[in-house]
Amino acid sequence: MAKEEKHLPVIGIGPLIVAPQLILTGITIWMDKRKLIPSITSPNTLRALLVMIGISMILAGVVLWWSANFKEKIDQNIKSNQLVTSGSYAWVRNPIYSAFWQLCFGIVLMNGNILLCIVPLLNWIYMTILLKNTEEKWLFDLYGKDYELYCKKVNRIIPFPERRS
């Protein structure tokens, strides 16, 4: 699955994907805390559950980020032009971006305002549009059918076990 002539940039579009998610999440939480947006708060039992789910999502995001960066050594694989499809990449095609999405989603859930759950949806839509029009095109040009088959088996952003074909 290697091609020697060219490879993707190591950082790629990462900052364009991650920074807006963090900024939108941060601004939304800040506005909510200052009561600048409506609040639909949950009962205490549901709030406790949302906090636990939020913490779990944040921890899962940290593990996913760590795995993609250090276990699968994505930087080295990009430089050597290897399409990585194992480890965290068998669960999600963009584990680093997914990790930040999970982090932001977890923060939103921990905040307790159910109305803010629109933020992860907006982040997901933004990432999907950007990835489809940039990185996915580059990867298809570079890896062709191998990448196309990988896309059919593995989700873009939300981690899920690989689909068998």
Q: Give the structural domain span for 141.
A: 16-34+41-153
Q: Is residue 8 part of a domain?
A: no
Q: Is residue 129 part of a domain?
A: yes
**Model pTM score:** 0.88
User: Distance between CA atoms of 146 and 51, rounded to whole angstroms?
Assistant: 40
pLDDT in tens, 61-98: 999 999 998 888 777 777 778 888 889 999 999 999 99
pLDDT confidence of residue 6: 66
User: What's the gap between Cα 87 and its chain centre?
Assistant: 15
pLDDT at 38 over 50: yes
pLDDT category at 9 given cuts 50, 70, 90 is low
Tell me, letter by letter, the H, E, C secondary structure of 48-69: HHHHHHHHHHHHHHHHHHHHHH
Q: Is residue 164 part of a domain?
A: no
H-type helices in 2-144, by residue range? 14-33, 44-66, 74-79, 95-111, 118-133, 135-143
DSSP 8-state secondary structure symbol assigned to residue 71:
I
DSSP 8-state secondary structure symbol assigned to residue 146:
H
Q: Is residue 3 part of a domain?
A: no
User: Distance between CA atoms of 88 and 62, rounded to whole angstroms?
Assistant: 12
pLDDT at 165 over 70: no
pLDDT confidence of residue 3: 46
pLDDT at 153 over 50: yes
Contact predicate 59/109, CB 8 Å: no
User: Distance between CA atoms of 151 and 155, rounded to whole angstroms?
Assistant: 7
pLDDT confidence of residue 164: 67
User: What's the gap between Cα 23 and its chain centre?
Assistant: 15
pLDDT confidence of residue 26: 97
- What share of the chain in percent tops pLDDT 70? 90
For the segment 2-9, the average pLDDT, to the nearest whole number, is: 56
Query: Considering its fold, how many domains does the chain have in total?
Result: 1
- What share of the chain in percent tops pLDDT 90? 68
